[in-house]
Chains A and B, each alone.
Chain A
Amino acid sequence: MNENNSSRRSFLLSSGGALGAGWLALNWPALSAAAAHSHEMAAGQADRSFKILNAAQSRDVEAIASQIVPSGDTPGAREAGVVYFVDHVHAGPYAGSRDEFLAGLAAFQDDFTQRHPGAGSFADLDADAQIAHLKAVEATPFFGRMKFLTLLGLLALPSYGGNADKLGWKLAGFVDQHAWTPPFGHYDRDYPGFVPYGKEKHS
Chain B
Amino acid sequence: MSARTFKPDDTVDFVVVGSGAAGGVMARELAQAGFDVLVLEQGPRFTAADFRHDEFDYWFNNALLNSPETSPQTFRRTASEPATRVKGFPSLWYARMVGGSSNHFTGNFWRFHEVDFRERSLLGAMPGTSFADWPIDYAELEPYYTKVEWDVGVSGLAGASPFDPPRSKPYPMPPLPVKSSGVLLERGARKLGLHPFPAPMAIASVPYRGRPACAHCGFCIGFGCEMQAKSSTLYTMIPEAEATGRCEVRSESYVFRVNVDERDRATGVSYFDRDRREHFQKSRAVVLCANGAETPRLLLMSADARHPDGLANSSGLVGRNLMFNTYTEAHAVFEHPLNEFKSVQVTRIVHDFYDADPKRGFYGGGGLDGRIGPNPIAWSLFAPPPEKSWGSELKALLEAMPRAMVVATHGTSLAQESNRVELDPELKDAWGMPAMRVTYDDHPDDLDFARFLQDRAVEIMQAAGAQQVWKAPVMPAPGSPHLLGTCRMGDDPKSSVVDRHHRSHDIRNLFICDGSSFVTSGRGQPTMTIQALAFRAGEHIARFAKRGEI
Chain A positions 1-41 with a Cβ under 8 Å from a chain B Cβ: 11-12, 15-16, 18-19, 23, 27, 29-31, 33-35, 37-38, 41
Tell whether, in the assembled complex, residue B55 and residue A173 are in contact, meaning their CB atoms are under 8 Å apart.
no
Q: Which one of B113, B228, B381 lies within 8 Å of A27 (CB-CB)?
A: B228
Question: Which chain A residue lies CB-closest to B392?
Answer: A70
Residues of A near B186 (CB, < 8 A) are 194
Partner of B212, one of A23, A67, A201: A23
Contact B395 A69 (CB under 8 A): yes
What residues of A have a CB within 8 angstroms of the CB of B337 in the complex?
A: 173, 185-186
Most chain-A Cβ atoms within 10 A of its Cβ — which of B54, B56, B381?
A: B56
Quote the shortest CB–CB distance from B280 to chain A (angstroms): 34
Q: Does A147 contact B (CB under 8 A)?
A: yes
Do the beta carbons of B47 and A191 come within 8 Å of each other? no
Determine the residue in chain B with the shortest Cβ distance to A175.
Answer: B341
Q: Which residues of B contact A67 (CB under 8 A)?
A: 390-391
Across the interface, A197 reaches (CB within 8 A) one of B162, B216, B354, B399, namely B162
B475 adjacent to chain A (CB < 8 Å): no
Interface of A is mostly: loop
Which residues from chain B contact A203 at a C-beta distance below 8 Å? 113, 115, 162-163, 354-355
Is the Cβ of A147 less than 8 Å from the Cβ of B389?
yes
A196 near B: Cβ within 8 Å? yes
User: Does A157 reach chain B (CB closer than 8 Å)?
Assistant: yes
Number of interface residues of B (CB under 8 A): 73
State A171–B392 Cα separation when bound (angstroms).
13
Interface residues on A, range: 35 or more
Distance (whole angstroms) from the CB of A145 to the closest CB of chain B: 11
Q: Does A196 contact B159, Cβ atoms closer than 8 Å? A: yes
Q: Which of B55, B115, B226, B338 contacts A155 (CB 8 A)?
A: B55
Q: Is there a chain B Cβ closer than 8 Å to A116's Cβ? A: no
Contact with A along B174-193 (1 / 0, CB 8 A): 01011110111011000000
Query: Contacts of A154 on B, CB cut-off 8 Å?
Result: 380
Would you call A115 an interface residue if the criterion is a C-beta within 8 Å of the partner chain's C-beta atoms? no
Q: What are 27 A-B pairs with beta-carbon distances under 8 A?
A: A16-B207, A19-B207, A19-B212, A30-B48, A33-B49, A67-B390, A70-B395, A72-B395, A76-B395, A94-B61, A96-B69, A147-B389, A147-B390, A155-B55, A156-B56, A171-B399, A173-B399, A174-B375, A182-B178, A184-B338, A184-B342, A185-B402, A186-B338, A191-B178, A194-B175, A197-B162, A203-B115
A93-B56, A93-B61, A203-B355 are known contacts; what are 6 more A-B pairs with Cβ within 8 Å? A69-B390, A156-B60, A178-B215, A194-B178, A194-B186, A196-B159
Residues on A lying within 8 angstroms of B by beta carbon are 11-12, 15-16, 18-19, 23, 27, 29-31, 33-35, 37-38, 41-42, 67-70, 72, 74, 76, 93-94, 96, 131, 134, 147-148, 151-152, 154-157, 160, 168-169, 171-182, 184-188, 191, 194, 196-198, 200-203
